[in-house]
A and B are shown apart, each in its own frame.
Chain A
Amino acid sequence: MSARGDERLAEQAPDERLLSGSGIRSLFEGFVARIRGGDLGALPVVLGIIVIWTVFQLLNPVFLSSENLVNLTMQCAAIGTIALGVVVVLLVGEIDLSVGSVSGLAAAVLAVTFVQMQWNLVLSILAALAIGGLVGLVYGYLFTRFGLPSFVITLAGLLGFLGLQLWVLGETGSIAIPFDSWIVQFAQQMFLPPWAAYALAAASVGVYAWSRVRHAQRRAAANLVSQSYAAIAVRSGVMLAFLVAAIWYLSLDRGIGVMFLFFLALVVVMNFVLTRTRWGRSVYAVGGSVEAARRAGIRVDRVYLSVFVLCSTLAAAGGILAAARLASANQSSGTGDVNLNAIAAAVIGGTSLFGGRGSAFSALVGIVVIQSISSGLTLLNLDSSVQFMVTGVVLVLAVIVDSLSRRTRAATGRA
C-alpha cells in the first residue's frame, strides 16, 4: 500500500505556491486574511465577551470582582459539560434537544441510587453515566436504523426522559445529596491552591510549547513549511501570561475550582480527540458531506452512533455536576433553561448549526458568554424574564454572525 512511502523528495524546497509562509508577520497577515475571508473562528465571541463584561462592569462594579468571577467559573462547569456534548452532535450536522432531560435523569439516578439505595458513590456515578450512554445508544439506533430526524427523536426524548426522571424520583420529588460526600465537596468546596494552579498552568503551557516545537521540527525535517520558533514562543508566552493573570486574579478569592478544572480538561481532551484522531476526522467529514464520508469508507453509522452516545453521556455528566453543585436532585433538575442554554452555548461559541465546523472550545467560550449574561443580570436584580430575553437576543446575534460569516466564506471561497 504505502506506495511512495520511502521515496522522500530529496531537494524539496519550500513550495512557492504555498499561500502561507512562516514567521510572526505572516502569522498576523494570515490571521487578518482569515478574518476578512469570513473565517472568524472565536473572534466574534471573544469580542462579545469583552463587550458584555465591560457593560456589566459599568453597570455594577461587583461584576468583575474576583468573587463573582469565581462563581462564574463554577456555574459554567455543569452546563458547559453538556454543551461540549452538543458541540459534537452539531459537528455531524445533527442536534440533541434532550440534553437537559438526560442531565436531569442522570441527577435523579445518582441521587436515588446513592442516597436512597445507599450504593457506593462511584457506582452511582457510573450508573448515571451509563443511563446517559444508553439513551445515546437508543438515539443512535433510531437514527441509523430508521432514519428518523434527530430533531424528532430527541424531542421525543426530551419528553420521555423528563417523565422517566420524575418516575425515578418518585414520591419525594426532591432528594438531598449529603454535603460530606466527596462529589458535593468536589463541586462546591475544592479549589486548587495558588501554587498548584501556577504549576499546572506552567506545565500545560510547557507541554503545549514542547509539542509545537516537536511538530515544527518534524515538519522542518520533512521540508514542509513549519511554524517558526518565534511564533511558537509568542503564542506560548501570551497563553502563559493570560493563565497566570487569570489565576492570580481568581486566587484573590477562592481560586480555581476543581470542578471548573475538570470541565477545562474535558474541553482540552475533546479538542485533541476531534482534531488529532481518525474518529475526530471522521466526525468532521460526516458533518461536511455524509456521502463523501461514506464513499471514503468511513462507517458513517458508527460515527453517528458514537456521537449520540458521547453527547448523552456528557449530558449525564453535566447533570451529575449540576446535582453535586446544588447538593440535590429534584423534579426541576435539568429542566427550564438548561437545555437551551447548553445548545445556545455551543452555537454562540461558534459551532455551526449546519455541521462540519466548530471546535470543542466553542463550548467553553459559549458557556462563559451565557453565564456572564445570567450572572450580570442577577447582579442587577433583574429577574429571569429579562435574562431569558437577553439570552435569546444573544443567541440570535450569534446565529446571525454564523450565517454572515458563512456567506462571506462562500463569497471568498472559504466555505
Chain B
Amino acid sequence: MTHPRTGRPRERVLTMRGIGKRFGAVKALTDVDFWVNEGEVVALVGDNGAGKSTLVKVLAGVHPPDAGTIEFDGEPVDIPSPADAQELGIETIFQDLALCDNLDVVANLWLGRELRDGATLDEVDMEQRTWTLLRELSAKIPSVRVPVASLSGGQRQTVAIARSLIGEPRVVILDEPTAALGVAQTAEVLNLIERLRERGHGVILISHNMADVLAVADRVVVLRLGRNNGVYNVADVTSETLIAAITGAVDHSSGRWAPPAATSSATPAAAPVRAAPEPAASDLPHVEPEPDDDIGGTVIRMPRTGSRRLPREDGRR
C-alpha cells in the first residue's frame, strides 16, 4: 500500500457537525461545522480566541466536545484521548513540535514506534525508510544522523511533519507551522504541505498568515468568537475578505449556518453568499439567506460528500 488513496476519488475523511465546547462560563465553540476531504488543504483561520485551537484539540482528542458529532470515514466516532485520535489516523503537529533535541532525525521520526530486528533496533531499515519519506516530501535535511538541535526551524518542522506521516494518517493537523520561520523556510514548509496534499492526506492548517493560507490552502474556514464565520474557496477569495471575516466586519455566523441538511437538498451547496463589502454593514441583520453577488468571495456550505475543490453535488448524493 504505497499510496493508498491516490487512485480513488477525493472522499470525505472527516466531518464535524454542530460542535460545541465550553470551558466553565466561556463558550469556546458554538455549533461549529467543519469537514476535510482527502488530499485537501483546509486552512482554519480566525483571531486569537476564535476557537481554532479548541477545535483542533477536539480533533486531536485533547478536549472531548460537549455537543455535536464527529464522523470519520462516514462512521460516527468519539475521540476521547490523543491515542484514539492517532489510532483513527489524525496526527497533530503542535507549535512546539515536541522533538527530542538530543536525538537524531531517525530516532525522532521513529520515536515510540521503532522498528526492531529481534530485540534490537533496526537502525538500517529505519534510516532507509527515513530517507525514502524525506525524498518523497522533497525535504532538505543535511543528514539524518545529526541531532535535531542542529537543524533550522524549517528543517525541524519538516522532521515533525515527516514523523507524523510514519503512521500513514488520514488527516494531518498543522498548528501555525510557519509562525517562527523566515521566508525561505516558510516556502519550504508550504512546499511540504503541497506534498502532503499530493500524498492524499487531508491537511488542516492553522495560520495567521493570509499569504500562506492563500498560497497553499484549497478552502478556508473562518472562525470568529467560537462560531463559523464563512467557508471560502481559496480560488476566489482575497485576503481582504478573509480579514473582514476574521475581524467580524463580515458576519456569516448565525442565520446562514442552519444545519446543512435543511437546505442543501434544495439548492446547490456552493451557493455564493454575499460577503458585505464594508465594515459599515453592521446594520445588516444576520439573517440574509438569499445569495447575491458579492465582491469578496464564495462562502461554501458543508456538502454531504466531499469533492476536492468545490463541493458541488453532481448527483453523486
Q: Say yes or no for B142: interface residue by CB 8 A criterion.
A: yes
Q: Are A413 and B150 in contact (CB under 8 A)?
A: yes
Q: Say yes or no for B27: interface residue by CB 8 A criterion.
A: no
User: Mind listing 26 A-B residue pairs with CB under 8 Å?
Assistant: A1-B167, A4-B136, A7-B132, A9-B131, A9-B132, A17-B141, A18-B143, A19-B143, A276-B120, A277-B119, A278-B114, A281-B107, A281-B111, A281-B114, A284-B100, A284-B107, A287-B102, A288-B100, A293-B100, A293-B111, A356-B100, A356-B102, A409-B149, A414-B150, A415-B147, A415-B149
1/0 per residue, CB under 8 A from A, across B136-170: the answer is: 10001111011101110000000000000011100
1/0 per residue, CB under 8 A from B, across A1-18: the answer is: 101110111001001011
Q: Say yes or no for B240: interface residue by CB 8 A criterion.
A: no
New A-B contacts (18) at CB < 8 Å, excluding given A1-B167, A222-B127 = A8-B128, A17-B141, A219-B124, A277-B119, A278-B116, A281-B114, A284-B102, A285-B111, A291-B96, A293-B100, A295-B82, A296-B111, A297-B86, A298-B111, A409-B149, A413-B149, A414-B147, A415-B149
Q: Are A17 and B140 in contact (CB under 8 A)?
A: yes
Give every chain B residue within 8 A of A276 (Cβ-Cβ).
120-121
Of the candidates B103, B114, B131, the one whose C-beta lies within 8 Å of that of A12 is B131
1/0 per residue, CB under 8 A from A, across B96-135: the answer is: 1011111100011001111010011100110111011101
Q: Are A4 and B107 in contact (CB under 8 A)?
A: no
Given contacts A9-B131, A17-B143, A19-B143, contact A289 B99 (CB under 8 A): yes
Quote the shortest CB–CB distance from A258 to chain B (angstroms). Answer: 27
Quote the shortest CB–CB distance from A30 to chain B (angstroms). Answer: 11
Which residue, of A287, A296, A412, has the highest number of chain B Cβ atoms within 10 A?
A296
| Pairs of residues from A and B, 7 with the lowest C-beta to C-beta distance, nearest first | A288-B100, A296-B112, A297-B112, A288-B102, A356-B102, A413-B150, A296-B111
Please measure, in the bound complex, the distance between the C-alpha atom of A276 and the C-alpha atom of B150, giving whole angstroms.
23
Give every chain B residue within 8 A of A8 (Cβ-Cβ).
128
Q: Say yes or no for B26: interface residue by CB 8 A criterion.
A: no
Please measure, in the bound complex, the distance between the C-alpha atom of A231 and the C-alpha atom of B129, giving whole angstroms.
26
Bin chain A's interface residue count. 35 or more
Interface residues of A (CB under 8 A from B): 1, 3-5, 7-9, 12, 15, 17-20, 215, 218-219, 222-224, 276-278, 281-282, 284-285, 287-289, 291-293, 295-298, 356-357, 409-410, 412-415
Of the candidates A215, A291, A357, the one whose C-beta lies within 8 Å of that of B124 is A215
Given contacts A1-B167, A281-B114, contact A224 B107 (CB under 8 A): no
Give every chain A residue within 8 A of B142 (Cβ-Cβ).
17-19
Q: Are B132 and A285 in contact (CB under 8 A)?
A: no
Give every chain A residue within 8 A of B141 (Cβ-Cβ).
17
Residue on A with the closest CB to B145?
Answer: A20
Q: Say yes or no for B83: interface residue by CB 8 A criterion.
A: yes
Residue on A with the closest CB to B152?
Answer: A413
Q: Are A3 and B124 in contact (CB under 8 A)?
A: no
Bin chain B's interface residue count. 35 or more
Of the candidates B98, B146, B147, the one whose C-beta lies within 8 Å of that of A289 is B98
Give every chain B residue within 8 A of A412 (Cβ-Cβ).
150
Give every chain A residue within 8 A of B146 (Cβ-Cβ).
19, 414
Q: Say yes or no for B267: interface residue by CB 8 A criterion.
A: no
Quote the shortest CB–CB distance from A415 to chain B (angstroms). Answer: 4
Given contacts A4-B129, A19-B143, contact A224 B124 (CB under 8 A): yes
List B179-206 residues whose CB lies under 8 Å from chain A. none
Give every chain B residue within 8 A of A9 (Cβ-Cβ).
128, 131-132, 135
Please measure, in the bound complex, the distance between the C-alpha atom of A9 and the C-alpha atom of B147, giving whole angstroms.
25
Q: Say yes or no for B1: interface residue by CB 8 A criterion.
A: yes
Give every chain A residue within 8 A of B1 (Cβ-Cβ).
3
Of the candidates B86, B103, B129, the one whose C-beta lies within 8 Å of that of A284 is B103
Q: Are A277 and B98 in contact (CB under 8 A)?
A: no
Of the candidates B83, B135, B168, the one whose C-beta lies within 8 Å of that of A1 is B168
Q: Are B99 and A292 in contact (CB under 8 A)?
A: yes
Quote the shortest CB–CB distance from A7 to chain B (angstroms). Answer: 6
Please measure, in the bound complex, the distance between the C-alpha atom of A1 and the C-alpha atom of B110, giving whole angstroms.
13
Give every chain A residue within 8 A of B83 (Cβ-Cβ).
297
Q: Are B128 and A224 in contact (CB under 8 A)?
A: yes
